[in-house]
């Protein structure tokens, strides 16, 4: 079933929150991972509320707020959030407090905010929203499972579903992941750079001229490149889409990680099919496909401005169908088909 | 005592993330909770943690806590009385 995208908002390493400056100028990253370019939160979030919010909460609340405002929705009928690591900054602070305080008295704020579902809970509290509230923490499919749930909610008659992806990174979390071999160091060019950010959407059943929609989503785990090809073919066939109908490929590959999966997908499309590696913008993280869906939506909505961007491939025709392919560590594979 | 009060203000601003506030913005006798500085029950727990960690002082009785956390003056007096 189609899930129409009323609105979307994102914060990532590049400028995406201020839509008047959307990806207008390249922001050179600094440090080992891609830090989010965050907007000034005052004016978006009540200053009294900000002081207890960690960065992931602020990024999520700001993007949820912008998406709801653009959709002219006061209270969504469901709030669904996907996050792999959740509120990792507060989790680290809380665990550090336990060790340094020798399991003595602990700061309540870090404890309260150290759970994954703080994000969806905080948004609901600010909106006074008593409706369905769910968080998916399923590593590389956290956002995908949120979207699948959102589609189920829409099929059951709910409308205006707020669905989002959120991830934050800090130096300690980066070092742990780097030492475990889970990521590369951007400074050393030795692998995909980690990123962070939040992407939110308001989904609806309501069709409208010029409104992009998520046509379908498919997820699979631990498959081979050959199985991936079959998976793509059946995904396209199910949606009655030919490879030549796809106007743009949004791929999770990057210059340091050209693996067999992305090469396999690229080989199934004509050489002149434009391809954009979205992780150059948002970096690698568990919910990077959330940003891909945001970027795809923006491209479908606003073809011209992105053509002027430093990142856009040469688009020779109006973009009407976008195929997103992403995988996390070759374990969690995702196809999403966006159309307008 | 004055040094202690200034130190407490710096610690509270940092601990409670009171952005855009400086020690000069908090009067020694200003009510910290409710209509004054506007702190709430989670802040009270944070202040209990602060006293225990930084000053090795425990507050066992909630009624006692209300009096101690009334203002910077009362917190400083409590710390002084125990040292």
> Among residues of chain A, what percentage have pLDDT more than 90?
71
Share of chain B above pLDDT 70, in %: 100
Tally of CB atoms within 10 A around A261: 22
Q: A48 burial class (0-12, 13-18, 19+ CB within 10 angstroms)?
A: exposed
DSSP state letter for B83: -
Q: How far is CA A306 from the centre of its chain?
A: 18
Q: Looking at CA atoms only, how far is residue A108 from chain B in angstroms? A: 7
Q: Please give the backbone phi and psi of residue B59, each rounded to the nearest 5 degrees, phi first.
A: -115, 110
Burial class (CB in 10 A: 0-12, 13-18, 19+), A215: buried
pLDDT band at residue A256 under the 50/70/90 scheme: low
Contact A303, A310 (CB under 8 A): no
Interface probe for B, chosen from A105, A113, A114, A122 (most Cβ of B below 10 Å), is A105
Contacts of B38 (CB under 8 A, 6+ apart): A48
Token couple for A105: 């008295």
CATH 3.40.47.10 residue ranges for chain A: 3-204, 213-339
Q: Please list the residues that pair with A336 across neighbouring strands.
A: A217, A324
B2 has a pLDDT exceeding 90:
no
Chain A: nearest CA to B46, how far in angstroms? 6
To the nearest whole Å, the CA of B38 is away from the closest chain A CA by: 9
Tell me the ipTM for this assembly. Answer: 0.77
Question: What domains can you pick out in chain B, each with its CATH number?
Answer: 2-82 (1.10.1200.10)
Q: What is the pLDDT of residues A281-307, one digit of tens each?
A: 999 999 999 999 999 999 999 876 665
Q: Is A130 on the interface with B (CB under 8 A)?
A: no
Given the candidates 3.90.1720.10, 3.20.20.450, 3.40.50.970, 3.40.47.10, the CATH classification of the domain at A3-204 is 3.40.47.10
pLDDT for A111-127, tens place per residue? Answer: 888 899 999 999 999 99
Beta strands in chain A (DSSP E): 3-11, 78-82, 132-136, 161-167, 197-204, 213-221, 248-251, 275-277, 321-328, 332-339
CA A332 to chain centre: 14
A43 in contact with B at a CB cutoff of 8 Å? no
Indicate which of B46, B47, B57, B65 best probes the interface with A, i.e. most A CBs within 10 Å of its own CB: B46
What's the CATH number for A213-339?
3.40.47.10
A323, A337 in Cβ contact below 8 A? yes
pLDDT (0 to 100) of residue A307: 59
Size of interface A-B (CB pairs under 8 A): 26
Q: What is the pLDDT of residue A286?
A: 95
CA distance A128 to chain B (A): 19
Burial of residue A267 (number of CB atoms within 10 Å: 0-12, 13-18, 19+): exposed
From the list A71, A79, A287, A219, the residue with the least C-alpha distance to A163 is: A79
Contacting A residues, span 289-318, partner chain B, CB-CB under 8 Å:
none
Check if A98 contacts B (Cβ < 8 Å): no
């Amino acid at each position: 079933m189609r899930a129409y995208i009323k609105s979307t908002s994102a914060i990532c390493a590049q400028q995406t929150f201020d839509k008047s400056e959307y990806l207008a100028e390249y922001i050179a990253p600094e440090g080992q991972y891609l830090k989010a370019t965050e907007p000034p939160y005052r004016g978006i979030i009540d200053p009294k509320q900000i002081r207890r919010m960690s960065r992931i909460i602020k990024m999520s609340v700001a993007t949820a707020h912008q998406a709801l405002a653009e959709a002219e929705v006061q209270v969504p009928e469901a709030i669904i959030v996907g996050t792999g690591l959740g509120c990792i900054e507060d989790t680290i602070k809380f665990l550090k407090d336990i060790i340094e305080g020798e399991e003595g008295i602990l700061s309540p704020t870090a404890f309260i905010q150290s759970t994954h579902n703080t994000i969806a809970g905080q948004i609901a509290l600010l909106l006074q929203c008593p409706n369905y509230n769910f968080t998916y923490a399923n590593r590389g499919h956290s956002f995908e499972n949120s979207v699948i749930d959102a589609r189920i909610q829409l099929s059951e008659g709910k409308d205006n579903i707020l669905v989002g992806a959120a991830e934050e990174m800090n130096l300690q979390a980066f070092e742990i992941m780097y030492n475990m071999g889970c990521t590369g160091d951007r400074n050393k060019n030795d692998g995909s750079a980690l990123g962070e950010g939040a992407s939110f959407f308001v989904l609806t059943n309501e069709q409208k001229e010029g409104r992009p929609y998520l046509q379908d989503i498919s997820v699979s785990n631990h498959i081979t490149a050959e199985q991936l090809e079959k998976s793509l073919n059946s995904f396209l066939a199910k949606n009655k889409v030919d490879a030549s109908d796809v106007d743009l490929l949004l791929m999770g590959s990057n210059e340091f990680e050209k693996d067999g999966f992305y090469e396999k997908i690229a080989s199934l499309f004509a050489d002149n099919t434009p391809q954009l590696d979205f992780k150059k913008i948002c970096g690698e993280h568990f919910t990077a496909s959330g940003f891909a869906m945001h970027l795809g939506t923006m491209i479908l909505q606003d073809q011209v401005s992105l053509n002027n961007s430093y990142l856009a491939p040469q688009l020779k025709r109006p973009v009407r169908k976008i195929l997103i392919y992403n995988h996390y560590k070759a374990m969690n594979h995702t196809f999403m088909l966006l159309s307008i | 005592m004055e040094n202690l009060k200034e130190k407490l203000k710096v610690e509270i601003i940092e601990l409670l993330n009171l952005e855009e506030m400086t020690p000069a913005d908090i009067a020694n006798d200003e009510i910290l909770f409710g209509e004054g500085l506007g702190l709430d029950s989670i802040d009270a727990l944070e202040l209990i943690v602060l006293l225990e960690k930084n000053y090795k002082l425990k507050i066992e009785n909630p009624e006692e806590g209300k009096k101690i956390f009334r203002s910077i003056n009362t917190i400083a007096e409590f710390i002084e009385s125990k040292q």
